[in-house]
Amino acid sequence: MHQWVINACRQRLIQRIRSETNMLSPHEFATLMLVKAAHEQIDFSREELDTLLERQLVALERLASGVQRPRLTIHGVSVLQAVTRKH
């Protein structure tokens, strides 16, 4: 089996395990903050973006120009609000 296939399977397994634990990795959380603050800087090949899309924290919207851009969903906004609350 090709190494890239093994790596892809390994990454999908890691993503599945993370989604089952309901915790965001530091990179996923940083990507979530980047979607909110600077969505135009998002690299669509980021694995973290795939995870956020799967968990429905981020959605892709198509602009009138046909360009897609990421945006926070209501769930993504809730996660950021919960984390940034002052105690």
pTM listed for this prediction: 0.69
Instruction: Categorise residue 6: left if φ over 0, alpha if ψ from -120 to 50, beta otherwise.
Output: alpha
* Sign of the dihedral through C-alpha 14, 19, 21, 24: positive
**Digit-coded pLDDT (tens) for 14-73:** 666 555 556 888 999 999 999 999 988 888 888 899 999 999 999 999 999 998 999 999
Write the CA distances from 76 to 3, 51, 65, 72, integer angstroms: 34, 12, 25, 5
Q: Which CATH number describes the domain made up of 24-84? A: 1.10.10
Any idea where the domains of the chain sit in the sequence?
Answer: 24-84
* Cβ–Cβ under 8 Å, residues 25 and 15: no
Residue 16 pLDDT: 63
